[in-house]
Amino acid sequence: METSRPVVVKRMPERVNKLEARKFLQDVRPFLTADRPQLVFDLSHVKQLDAAGVEMLLQCVAEVMKRDGDLKLASLSKQALMVLELTRTDRLFEIYENSTEAARSFSGFLPNAMRPIPAYQQPAADLPLAA
């Protein structure tokens, strides 16, 4: 039986420019290259996100997806959200109100997928017809 993987939450720095993006990428690389990584980046403190920061986010999501994992964004500051919307990269990420919701979303679908569907919720074609 597979054990659940830990969800890693990392807070991004206030300024995500070329230098800070490089430092952050170096810091998270071990998590990006894990088997099926589950990451949440908290952007609540981000006051500056430039093109290098957006590029770093895209690099991170590409690395994670190569390993059958996922990267979600949480608590976006107004500035970070504006930059992601202007660059149209916001649609490439699942974005959550906070880190807790984002972390929960990794396991949220699994229990429901394993539960049998009660008879009253099954499509009519699957139910026996009354004689």
Position 114 pLDDT exceeds 90? no
Q: What is the mean pLDDT of residues 102-128?
A: 57
Confidence (pTM): 0.78
pLDDT tier for residue 89 given thresholds of 50, 70 and 90: very high
Looking at residue 97, its pLDDT comes to: 96
Report the alpha-carbon distance of residue 54 to residue 90 in Å, rounded. Answer: 10
Q: What is the pLDDT of residues 8-54, one digit of tens each?
A: 999 999 999 999 999 999 999 999 999 999 999 999 999 999 999 99
Q: What is the pLDDT of residues 43-73, one digit of tens each?
A: 999 999 999 999 999 999 999 999 999 999 9
Looking at residue 35, its pLDDT comes to: 93
Report the alpha-carbon distance of residue 90 to residue 87 in Å, rounded. Answer: 8
| Cα dihedral across residues 51, 52, 53, 59: positive or negative | positive
Report the alpha-carbon distance of residue 125 to residue 107 in Å, rounded. Answer: 31
- Residue 67, CB half-sphere, CA atoms under 13 Å: how many? 19
Closest CA to 48 of 26, 87, 77: 77
* Residue 77 DSSP symbol: -
